[in-house]
Amino acid sequence: MSHHCLLFDRVHYRYPDGCEALRGVTLRLPHGEKAALVGANGTGKSTLLLHAAGLLLPTQGEVAVGGVGLTPRTLPSVRQKVGVVFQNPDNQLFMPTVEEDVAFGPANMGLTPDEIEQRVAAALEAVGASHLRKKSPYRLSGGQKRSVAIATVLSMEPAVLVLDEPTSDLDPRARRQTIELLRRFDHTMLVATHDLEMAAELCPRTIILRDGTVAADGPTTELFRDTALLEACALEQPCSMRR
């Protein structure tokens, strides 16, 4: 099932203002792997996610999804394979009702009304939000908005799921629900986060970025026990791992 693989091969990216956000990043996520992407602010996490979703193209190097290299010509097909959940769910919710938001992507794929309804029902059920389908997104709690934002992506049936800070600004209960929701997914998943407790609980693998490069890549528990590494990358060891 190579269509679920995500590859970054010596990826560089320089913003128009000259800031070099990525400096030769190489990593591969095989089918079904859940990996956390961590690092201090400004290390390139969000920039890397935008490349995975085809929202940015490398200045140098290659990004591939399922063996298909990311180019202007392949963007439409690649974007259908990758679902991205932004840090602020308000960036993804813009229709009058939840069901219209979740239906927006499938409708733009040219699906039939019956197919769209099946996608909407399945996505909302997957995130435990079927009871919200007639609600206005603007009247939802932060946790409910996060769940619905994830549903808008799931309705597209992506092969790869990338998420930017999925637990930020959530209360403890909503955070727990989000983690349990993500745990159930079979997608190849790349999660950029400052929540190292969540990363330790959800992702067997962690990639640490520092100054736009991969400082470390390996088993999450192993990396998070390396206090010297974490300190060098301006990260704090999760409380659950401190003795």
User: pLDDT (tens digit, 9 = 90+) per residue, 172-229?
Assistant: 888 888 888 888 888 799 999 999 999 999 999 999 999 999 999 999 999 999 999 9
CA dihedral 120, 123, 126, 128 (to 10 degrees): -60
Coil, helix or strand for 10? Answer: strand
> Do 8 and 61 meet the contact criterion of CB atoms below 8 Å apart?
yes
Say if residue 201 is exposed, middle or buried (CB neighbours under 10 Å; 0-12, 13-18, 19+). Answer: middle
pLDDT at 2: 46
DSSP class of residue 204 equals S
Tokens at 47, concatenated: 């920039």
Q: Where are the domains of the chain?
A: 2-235
12: three-class secondary structure by DSSP: strand
Q: How far apart are the first and last CA of the chain?
A: 41
Cα gap 18→21, rounded to integer Å: 9
Which amino acid belongs to residue 89?
P
Residue 214, number of CB atoms within 10 A of its CB = 20
CATH 3.40.50.300 describes domain 2-235: yes
69: helix, coil or strand?
strand
How far apart (Å, rounded) are the C-alpha atoms in residues 223 and 206? 8
Query: What pTM does this model have?
Result: 0.88
Query: Residues in the chain with pLDDT < 70?
Result: 1-3, 243
Indicate the SS3 state at residue 227.
helix
Neighbours of 12 (CB within 10 A): 15
